[in-house]
Each structure stands twice: as structure tokens, then as C-alpha cells.
Amino acid sequence: MRLFVGLGNPGAKYAGNRHNIGYMAVDRIAEDHGFGPWRSKFQGQIAEGRLGSEKIMLLKPETFMNLSGQSVGEAMRFFKLEPGDVTVFYDELDLAPGKLRVKTGGGLAGHNGLRSIDGHIGPEFTRVRIGIGHPGRKDLVSRHVLSDFAKAEQDWLSDLLRGVSDGAPELAGGDSGKFMNAVALRVAPPRSSNRAAEAKPASAAKSKPAEAAPDDRSPLQRLMDKFK
């Protein structure tokens, strides 16, 4: 069993915030992969399902971001899991919007949710860092993370979340490389070669020499034309 944790703040007021992209990620996974209904447990909301051969518990702590570790620690102890069985999805200021990285362990980068989880279960959990960009000044960070994604950002946000969902079975199986590939295919799909293939016959037709018209003259007419 693995525990996938999406970080965010509870309540409609925060639902569209950049700080809640972790909630959005696990919501997308739950919807796309047919997880059971969300129910209240471990000071949060939890849903059960499978990703590939792995049983997965999705958790959205409702303690508010700064106390996320209380919920994660409680769930981890109940299911008798190790820190290595826990994967946390959260917003990352130091990555450009739409970028995503996966790592195990490491620093906290000033993220209060990570700090709380680290304090309760230690640092050796997997982190899915989802870029939301930096506002440029430290004094603008709080306003930035607690503001909603703009309408102009909805396309890349939707592609990214669908990519996370597409690759979730690979992540559950421990293959972060294939997970990242699934995200990349949604965010930056390869260009289709159909257009080029369709264009080829047209250009070929342009350069092809015109065929001579059939000669319908009689042998006598052709002979007479030689002496004109």
C-alpha cells in the first residue's frame, strides 16, 4: 500500500488557490481512476483505490497547510507505513508554472506543509513538486500562493493535472521516469507529422511534369505535317 497526499487548505475560499494544487492533483487521480468516495478520517479526507497493482490511499489533510503533518502522521501510523511509502504533491515556487519534478528526501524550500510533514514522519518521503512560479519578491509570496489561478493559466493547469493522473500508476509502481514522461506528453505533446505528410503529395504534384496530350492524328496527317 502507498499513501498519496495532496497538500492544500480546506474550504471553498481556497479551492482555486495555487497553494491547493496538491489537492487538485489527487482529486484528478481519484476521478480518473475510479477511486471510492471521499470520507472524513485522519483529520482530513481520504479515498481508496488502485493504481496498477498497487493499493493506494489518497489523503487531503484538512488541518490547514501548516499542520499537514498531523494528518499524514496519523494515517501513516494507522496503515503501518514507512516514510518511503508516502508521496506528497505540493506547490513549488522555485519551478516555473507547468513544470514538475520528483525527488525523495531533500530540503523544505520554505514550504510550511513540508516542514510540518518532515516534523512528524521525517524527510524520507517522495515529493512531487508542481511549479507555480515565483512572484519575484519575497513580500509577494503569500499573496501569490493564496491567489487563484488566472483564466489564462487554466489550459496548462488542466494538461498538467491530466498528465499527473495519466502517470499515477507508474509513480505508484516506483517508476518516476515513466511518470514524468506521461506528464510531458500532456504538457508538451510531440508535433504531429500528418500535416507534413499531407503536404508532400501537393508539392510533388507541383513539380511533376505535365503529361503530353495523346496524338489523335491519322498516319497520313502525321506524314503530311512533316513536310509543312
Give the model confidence (pLDDT) of 31-58 as tens digits: 999 999 999 999 999 999 999 999 999 9
Which of the pair, 192 or 100, is modelled with greater confidence?
A: 100
Query: In a 10 Å sphere around its CB, with 0-12 CB exposed, 13-18 middle and 19+ buried, how is residue 224 labelled?
Result: exposed
Grid coordinates of 112: 510550511
Q: Stretch 177-185: mean pLDDT, rounded?
A: 97
The alpha carbon of residue 11 and the mean position of all alpha carbons in its chain are separated, in whole angstroms, by: 23
pLDDT at site 188: 87
Spell out the residues 6+ positions from residue 223 whose beta carbon is closer than 8 angstroms to its own.
Answer: none
pLDDT at site 215: 61
Superfamily of domain 2-187: Peptidyl-tRNA hydrolase (3.40.50.1470)
Span 70-116, pLDDT tens digits: 999 999 999 999 999 999 999 999 999 999 999 998 888 789 999 99
pLDDT at site 35: 98
> Domain locations in the chain?
2-187
Is residue 19 flagged as an active site residue? yes
Spot the catalytic one: 19, 33, 111, 144.
19
Full-prediction pTM beyond 0.95?
no
